[in-house]
Chains A and B, each alone.
Chain A
């Protein structure tokens, strides 16, 4: 009954999923939680794991021998351990963010408690929850539990026993798999992987049996034969040594089967993009030629039957192989080189599957730089996630964007500063949602309000008034008295020639100037260049000097030249002429 209970428990755990990392759970990165479904006392319990508000104090892993090892911890670590322990005992499960040592010490605490209250049920329940919530503690916890319940050990370690009810093994399959203990590598600690390896192994045996039929033999017979051949020199005549022979034969068989299942495991690892492979020592002789060569050939066809990992398996695989995401990132980069939104969603989905990966920050950092030139919002959001997860990492320090990326991301220093402010707030408050919400605002052009200081405006107006006054003095005043050193032409001429004229009294004109103006009036205010030149020759004067002297004389009064040169003729503006007449 006890055994069934345990099988049943494992089965329930598998069917409901050890870890449920639903999309909603992970996308809400402010409240990351992992749901662990455990069946205790034939009741399904959901243990919700949550991140601590503050960062878990880093504690480098080392072998732990007893609960008293907590005395080696720093005060900060001790404080956290007490908090973690009390939370655990009150069914509040805190993510340790890779600091497994706290959960290992807790195992010793639970064992100490058992030695006091002798409640095996309570110890069992606690250790099972602990091993499921903190998978790295699983083997250690169950070994300790095994010390109290002997039958757990074999059930846990024999593959046949472990998977009998999970994949409904028949008698032959069960016996073959029970020849093997569960592989100790971390890959097969993930049940999904173990199942797929076992299924591939059984399928391989089936296929090999089919090929051996022609030779009237079977996989098992072949394996037995090879095992016997490997110890053919063993002396079986002595009945005292027969037990040793049988033991050695059994051991050889197990080793041979082990090699075959390792071959299968490597194939599954390869398919799952798991980079660490089992080192299969080169096998020679009959085993290689009769079994392995054929197995390799068959496996390359059979591998297609292996299921792709489900989400929870992906989470564990990524936690074990912390650069596995790189392959996926390359795929995403080539799939969405332009569309930043889709790229962002894909990266977030990938991050969801890497929620237990201590290198999750690198996913965000690398992708934020990649997308910087294509979609600035996506880039900054990914960078914010990098900062958020970086806060929880003891190893990864907040790196800034490379300068080239910064130039693409920010149009102005102001934008860069706004983003820096968001990042600083994120670091302080640890609230990723707020940061994500605020990021688009840095690109919204800020409407600059013009502040007008009325007193300053009045001051400017006054200054301008005085400037106008000053300039009016210069521009409208009679500059001649101040500025002209020598008598200009037209003024220094014999003063006897000055006349009382029909023109405004303020103008003193010479004979020639009056005659010239009259000449213009007679010619309807227009004179050809030739006519005026002839006229000047008759009067023995220079044309330019004459025109200049008249213009200069009336310039201050008119604010403009009286006589203008226009395409080969000289013209007097009639309106100006009327103004200079006597009034």
Chain B
């Protein structure tokens, strides 16, 4: 049952799942029931790697595994040398706004940039330095300058020229300012001016709010604002690819926060922005970009406030009408995640028990019948149909195994009988109270 799982993965899986989070390594061992979705992810990543751009909408009820899928997607993308950014929509982060909320979203994206060796985020300086180093190497090779001398001041203008040249190749909009700031970053590095480097990073992350301040610090006339942030993301995407990364993956969770926008005009503007991104990706105006949105069914299908309220978006996102429960189409932009079936949960729990035993090098007296009893007890608890999620099932299961491991004489039936289900859904009562404006 454990297959080729290694002890380190077993430890990571058990510790993370007991803590209610997705494990950093060994995630592949808990992907029961998601074979088709995973194939769809790998296929999409390959397409993006090959130059296409995609937008996917991961739709499912509370606890259906949307965030898990985004996490798995991030892990796979990082492994395949993508630069990945994970962000969530909040009341302060929007894809369209005119009060800096889009820039706030942009900042959260740039702060949270990850690569395989920087999975916790904050990868922007690493990526920039990697690029500058590439420019240095290519300059040294092209001009037959020894690598150890290329950083000396006399080659500074040569490097500047090469940086500007590369930036001009990859940028459509705002290229001049972008190149200027990158040069400032390089200058800060060469001259050991940390403040200059930090200012350059601030600008690139959209943290400047006034042009005056930016001009004072960096000598640039413009800053990233709500109107230009998306162009800057596209510039970065091109930069990442030119450095050698496979592409840029952007994951946006909690799309419910767009649905919650009470002003219909602003909400529609946000949906219009999503449409514009969608069109950019599918019409080939941007390469190697993979954007994912995750939200509940109402976010997509609600025709009063959801994405489907915006007719142009609805016509693009309508499910394949030939799709059935048995014949799913995972190639379409919308992937509806079905909750795990009882059989799938059963297999997952069997698997977890094996991993648990491997981790603690023990045998737990909890057989398949006990697993079935555990599931029946849990699914028959009040509230199970409304707010029981795989996360809760797994955590309760592992907690029971832990108790049995430490107290082998404990009564299993009593343990199972003590299970309680709590409503841990986000409080959406506010949504119901929203007055349409």
Q: Which residues of A are in contact with B by a Cβ distance under 8 Å?
A: 445, 447-453, 456-457, 460-461, 463-468, 470-472, 474-475, 479-480, 482-489, 492-494, 537, 540-545, 547-548, 551-552, 555, 559-561
B32 within 8 A of A: yes
B247 (CB) vs chain A CBs: closest residue: A483
B272 → A minimal CB distance (Å): 34
Contact A450:B375 (CB < 8 A) given known A460-B33, A461-B347:
yes
Chain B residues within 8 Å of A452, by CB:
342-343, 346, 372
Question: Are B38 and A448 in contact, with the CB atoms below 8 A?
Answer: no
B300 within 8 A of A: no
Question: Are A475 and B75 in contact, with the CB atoms below 8 A?
Answer: yes
- The 10 tightest CB contacts between A and B, nearest first, are A471-B28, A542-B129, A486-B244, A551-B117, A544-B126, A483-B81, A463-B35, A467-B35, A540-B151, A544-B129
Chain A residues within 8 Å of B379, by CB:
448, 450
Docked complex: B1-49 residues within 8 A CB-CB of A: 3-4, 6, 8-9, 25, 27-29, 31-35, 38-39, 42, 49
B79 within 8 A of A: yes
Question: Are A457 and B343 in contact, with the CB atoms below 8 A?
Answer: yes
Please pick, from B38, B189, B376, the residue contacting A470 in the complex, using a CB distance under 8 A: B38
Q: Number of A-B pairs whose CB atoms are under 8 Å? A: 136
B382 within 8 A of A: yes
CA distance in complex: A457, B80 (Å): 31
Please pick, from A453, A456, A485, A545, the residue contacting B244 in the complex, using a CB distance under 8 A: A485
B417 within 8 A of A: no
Chain B residues within 8 Å of A471, by CB:
27-28, 31, 38, 76
CA distance in complex: A541, B31 (Å): 41
Query: Which of B130-138, B170-178, B330-338, B420-428 has 4 or more CB atoms under 8 Å from chain A?
Result: B130-138
Question: Are A548 and B28 in contact, with the CB atoms below 8 A?
Answer: no
Chain A residues within 8 Å of B9, by CB:
559
Question: Are A451 and B25 in contact, with the CB atoms below 8 A?
Answer: no
Please pick, from B129, B130, B133, B343, the residue contacting A453 in the complex, using a CB distance under 8 A: B343
A467 (CB) vs chain B CBs: closest residue: B35
B91 within 8 A of A: no
B24 (CB) vs chain A CBs: closest residue: A560
Chain A residues within 8 Å of B241, by CB:
485
CA distance in complex: A251, B77 (Å): 114
Chain A residues within 8 Å of B29, by CB:
468
Question: Are A467 and B34 in contact, with the CB atoms below 8 A?
Answer: yes
Q: List 10 A-B contacts (CB under 8 A).
A: A445-B380, A452-B372, A470-B39, A484-B81, A485-B244, A485-B246, A541-B133, A542-B132, A545-B129, A559-B8
B33 (CB) vs chain A CBs: closest residue: A460
CA distance in complex: A447, B126 (Å): 56
Question: Are A545 and B81 in contact, with the CB atoms below 8 A?
Answer: no
Q: Which residues of B are in contact with A by a Cβ distance under 8 Å?
A: 3-4, 6, 8-9, 25, 27-29, 31-35, 38-39, 42, 49, 75-76, 79-81, 115-118, 125-126, 129-130, 132-134, 137, 147-148, 151, 189, 192, 241-246, 342-344, 346-347, 351, 372, 375-376, 379-380, 382
CA distance in complex: A60, B169 (Å): 98
Chain B residues within 8 Å of A547, by CB:
126
Please pick, from A474, A487, A561, the residue contacting B80 in the complex, using a CB distance under 8 A: A474
Please pick, from A451, A465, A475, A485, the residue contacting B79 in the complex, using a CB distance under 8 A: A475
Question: Are A464 and B347 in contact, with the CB atoms below 8 A?
Answer: yes
CA distance in complex: A558, B295 (Å): 35
Contact A457:B346 (CB < 8 A) given known A486-B243, A545-B126:
yes
Chain B residues within 8 Å of A552, by CB:
116-117
Given contacts A468-B4, A471-B28, A486-B242, 5 further A-B pairs with CB under 8 A are A449-B376, A457-B346, A467-B34, A482-B80, A552-B116
CA distance in complex: A540, B80 (Å): 30
A270 → B minimal CB distance (Å): 53
B398 → A minimal CB distance (Å): 19
CA distance in complex: A453, B344 (Å): 11
B241 → A minimal CB distance (Å): 7
Interface centre among A465, A466, A485 (most CB of B within 10 A): A485
Question: Are A472 and B4 in contact, with the CB atoms below 8 A?
Answer: yes
B38 (CB) vs chain A CBs: closest residue: A467
Chain A residues within 8 Å of B38, by CB:
467, 470-471
Question: Are A468 and B343 in contact, with the CB atoms below 8 A?
Answer: no
Chain A residues within 8 Å of B3, by CB:
465, 468
Contact A548:B42 (CB < 8 A) given known A460-B33, A483-B80:
no
B110 → A minimal CB distance (Å): 15
CA distance in complex: A466, B189 (Å): 48
Chain B residues within 8 Å of A474, by CB:
42, 76, 79-80
Question: Are A450 and B79 in contact, with the CB atoms below 8 A?
Answer: no
Interface centre among A450, A540, A551 (most CB of B within 10 A): A450
Chain A residues within 8 Å of B42, by CB:
470, 474
A446 (CB) vs chain B CBs: closest residue: B380
Please pick, from A447, A463, A484, A493, the residue contacting B376 in the complex, using a CB distance under 8 A: A447
A555 → B minimal CB distance (Å): 6
Question: Are A559 and B80 in contact, with the CB atoms below 8 A?
Answer: no
B376 (CB) vs chain A CBs: closest residue: A450
B359 → A minimal CB distance (Å): 16
Contact A548:B130 (CB < 8 A) given known A460-B33, A560-B25:
yes
A460 (CB) vs chain B CBs: closest residue: B347
Question: Are B28 and A467 in contact, with the CB atoms below 8 A?
Answer: yes
B138 → A minimal CB distance (Å): 9
Question: Are B133 and A489 in contact, with the CB atoms below 8 A?
Answer: yes
Question: Are A489 and B137 in contact, with the CB atoms below 8 A?
Answer: yes
Chain A residues within 8 Å of B31, by CB:
464, 467-468, 471
Question: Are A489 and B80 in contact, with the CB atoms below 8 A?
Answer: no
Interface centre among B4, B76, B117, B151 (most CB of A within 10 A): B117
Chain A residues within 8 Å of B79, by CB:
474-475, 479
B367 → A minimal CB distance (Å): 13
B210 → A minimal CB distance (Å): 29
Chain B residues within 8 Å of A456, by CB:
343
A209 → B minimal CB distance (Å): 75
Chain B residues within 8 Å of A560, by CB:
25
Contact A479:B80 (CB < 8 A) given known A449-B376, A464-B31, A468-B3:
yes
